[in-house]
Amino acid sequence: MRLDDTAPRGTAVLARLHRLAPLSTAERDLVSRSLTLTRRVAARRDVVAERSINGEPRVLISGWAALSRIMVDGRRQILDLVLPGEHVAMRPRRGLSSLTTVSAITDVEFGPVAEPAEDDGALAEAYAVGNALHEHYLYRQIARLGRLNAYERTIDWFLEIHERLELSGLTNAHRFAFPVTQEILADVLGMTGVHVNRTLQALRKDGLLEVREGTVTFPNVRELRSLVAFEPAAAVLGLPVLLPEDVQVARAG
């Protein structure tokens, strides 16, 4: 539950997988060991260009990245963010091109995805749930862009990010580190930078959301959730409630 970078490497990855499905000690070790071979990319650089041949699926160990599509006239839409602990390019597609551009928002570190030893183990289960979550968040993004106005869209999106960071153990109650500019936020939310700015101001005035110094705070989560009828992913997926704060995760070696 820390906001900074002081956690041992791979903590977010392990925390997330372990919450998706409780891993055995052997599985945690397997994952830990796989994370020694990493690849770093500096902020603002592309990790995978759209159309390049798809490499191995990867997991984001630290930093924030974005999946986007860019149109010929320069307009850009960010399809989804990739948060620490989450996977990029969920499904390997041998021989097929990458469907999106992956770019680094901050400095990022990627690792390979550990191959599960058994098909029916907790690790395989965690990956399956992770895939379902990814799909769920894509659907949310569509519904958000299609049917919510700027104010609601912003609320809904921040609640989702909070939920996802919580999965990786990167929140502190209703506060979390947020290294995203308003311009990037505009590309996520399908609006202009100027309008993002005004919307954030309105939310702050209404006592719902503070974005200051790279940190987001929700002064009143309950009201925030009720404004957009936010449903936790666990409820939508029909999973046994999986987000208690007390779930402890083994430290990475």
Q: Which residues bind DNA (CB under 7 A)?
A: 149-151, 181-183, 190-195, 197-201, 213
Distance of CA 245 to the CA centre of its chain: 18
Task: Give dist(CA 12, CA 6) in Å, integer.
Answer: 12
C-alpha span between 216 and 218 (Å, rounded) = 7
Nearest distance, CB of residue 4 and its own copies, angstroms: 32
Q: Which of 6, 56, 119, 146 binds its own copies (CB under 8 A)?
A: 146
Question: Which partner, DNA, its own copies, none, binds residue 192 by CB below 5 to 8 Å per kind?
Answer: DNA
Residues 20 and 81: beta-carbon distance below 8 Å: no
Burial class (CB in 10 A: 0-12, 13-18, 19+), 74: exposed
**And the tokens for 103?**
């770019």
Nearest to 28 by CA among 40, 13, 39: 13
Q: Are strands 175-177 and 58-62 parallel, antiparallel or unpaired?
A: unpaired
> Which one of residues 2, 40, 45, 93 is an interface residue with its own copies (CB under 8 A)?
93
Identify which of residues 146 and 244 has a Cβ nearer to its own copies in the complex. Answer: 146
Told to check if 247 binds its own copies by CB under 8 A, we report: no
Cβ proximity to its own copies, 166 vs 187, nearer residue = 187
Tokens of 147: 């049917």
Of 21 and 170, which CB lies nearer to its own copies in the complex structure? Answer: 21
> Minimum distance between the CB of residue 136 and DNA, rounded to whole angstroms?
23
Describe the crossing of helices 11-20 and 150-167 by its angle, rounded to 10 degrees.
100
Q: Applying CB under 8 A, does 145 fall inside the site for its own copies?
A: yes
Q: In what order do the strands lie in the sheet with 175-177?
A: 171-172, 175-177, 215-217, 210-212
In the list its own copies, DNA, none, the entry touching 225 (Cβ below 5 to 8 angstroms by class) is none
Least spacing, CB of residue 105 vs DNA, in Å: 10
202 binding partner (options its own copies, DNA, none; Cβ < 5 to 8 Å by kind):
none
Residues that bind its own copies (CB under 8 A): 50-51, 53, 69, 71-73, 75-77, 79, 91, 93, 95-97, 99-100, 128-129, 131-132, 135-136, 138-143, 145-147, 187, 189-190, 229, 236-239
